[in-house]
Amino acid sequence: SGQVSSICALEGLSVALHCNDKPRTSNNKWYTLNCNGNKITSISARGRPAKYNMSENSQPTLTIQNLRENDAKHYCCFDGDDPEVCKKSAIHLKITGDTYLFIHRVKYFSTMISLSEACRV
């Protein structure tokens, strides 16, 4: 590991993030990393309506519902509480609200181009 990956998603929809941590253990938890990269916050699936849904299978997945701009963060999944470990396997979630650009680019260009163009964050 040691690579930050980026995912771009459309505001109002949902996205599934897959746990990058190896080895995966039953103690893996999902966290967000603050912008300074020195503090992690545990994510809870509690709350109504449910914002987060976490699967507990062999590849833990975090599904974030009804995406908003403030969901654009670094997410990580691992067994521990060290922000440095989180930084190394973080997933950078970017959100775009530009529905036309997003759909237009997906329709006429490759997905990679569409997502990077629609999310210039």
Q: Look at residue 15 and tell me whether its pLDDT is greater than 70.
A: yes
CATH (one of 3.40.640.10, 3.90.1150.10, 3.40.190.10, 2.60.40.10) for 5-96: 2.60.40.10
**Separation between Cα atoms, residue 47 and residue 32, nearest integer Å:** 17
Contact between 91 and 61 under an 8 Å Cβ cutoff? The reply is no
Query: Averaged over 43-68, what is the pLDDT?
Result: 82
* 16 vs 1, more confident: 16
Q: What is the pLDDT of residues 61-103, one digit of tens each?
A: 899 998 998 999 999 988 888 899 888 888 999 888 766 555 5
Residue 115: pLDDT band with limits 50, 70, 90: very low
Is the pLDDT at 23 greater than 70? The verdict is: no
pTM, rounded to two decimals? 0.76
For position 112, what pLDDT does the model report? 42
SS (H, E, C) 59-121: CCEEEECCCCHHHCCEEEEECCCCHHHHHHCCEEEEEECCHHHHHHHHHHCCHHHHHHHHCCC
Domain boundaries, the chain: 5-96
d(CA 66, CA 89): 24
Average confidence score pLDDT of the chain: 77
Q: Percentage of the chain with pLDDT > 90?
A: 21
